[in-house]
């Protein structure tokens, strides 16, 4: 995509995403992360909302005797990082990169949308994730 000046080009998805978010805000349309973020877990998981940041950065790995398995949702990740984690995407990635090298830990698996997260949480003991609305058959930990 080129504009009037050849020196002004968008080469990254990040730049295009920022422009799209700005255009939507000017038009009065809320960006994707403006909605609710509902953190859900498998029915066997008991967590306090204050524990969520530690769960998703790999610092809290057990809830009682249940091993926690967090999962990210590509469709809501920006809102989750902003509202719940109070981090930007770069910082979140940096935390997991360091943890991978230092501790050999793997970052949460990434699911494409709410339905994949819900299916994963229901099928996996200890799983936690985040979606846009409260589904049935899971434990709702918090709503942001």
- Place 7 in a pLDDT band, splitting at 50, 70 and 90: very low
pTM (2 decimals)? 0.76
Q: Is the domain of 15 the same as that of 70?
A: no
Q: Is the domain of 88 the same as that of 102?
A: yes
Q: Is the domain of 77 the same as that of 24?
A: no
- Place 14 in a pLDDT band, splitting at 50, 70 and 90: very low
pLDDT at 127 over 70: yes
Q: Is the domain of 50 the same as that of 74?
A: yes
Q: Is the domain of 37 the same as that of 23?
A: no
Residues, the chain: 144
Tokens of 134: 């409260």
How many domains does the chain fold into?
Answer: 2
- What digits encode the pLDDT tens for the residues 27-71? 333 344 458 999 999 999 999 999 999 999 999 999 999 999 999
Residue 84 phi, psi dihedral angles, 5° rounding: -100, -50
Tokens of 88: 């930007």
- Range 16-46 burial, b when 16+ CB lie within 10 A, else e: eeeeebeeeeeeeeeeebeeebbbbbbeebe
The pLDDT score that the predictor gives to residue 55 is 98
The pLDDT score that the predictor gives to residue 30 is 39
Average pLDDT over all residues of the chain? 83
- What digits encode the pLDDT tens for the residues 81-103? 999 999 999 999 999 999 999 99
- Place 12 in a pLDDT band, splitting at 50, 70 and 90: very low
């Amino acid at each position: 995509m080129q504009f009037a000046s050849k020196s002004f080009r968008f080469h990254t998805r990040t730049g295009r995403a920022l422009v799209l978010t700005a255009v939507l805000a000017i038009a009065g349309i809320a960006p994707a992360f403006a909605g609710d973020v509902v953190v859900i877990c498998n029915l066997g998981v008991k967590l306090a909302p204050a524990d969520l940041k530690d769960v998703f950065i790999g610092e809290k790995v057990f809830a009682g005797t249940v091993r926690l398995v967090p999962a990210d949702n590509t469709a809501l990740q920006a809102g989750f990082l902003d509202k719940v984690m109070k981090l930007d995407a770069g910082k979140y990635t940096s935390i997991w990169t360091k943890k991978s090298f230092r501790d050999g830990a793997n970052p949460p698996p990434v699911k494409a949308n709410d339905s994949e997260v819900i299916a994963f949480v229901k099928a996996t003991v200890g799983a936690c994730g985040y979606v846009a609305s409260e589904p049935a058959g899971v434990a709702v930990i918090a709503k942001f």
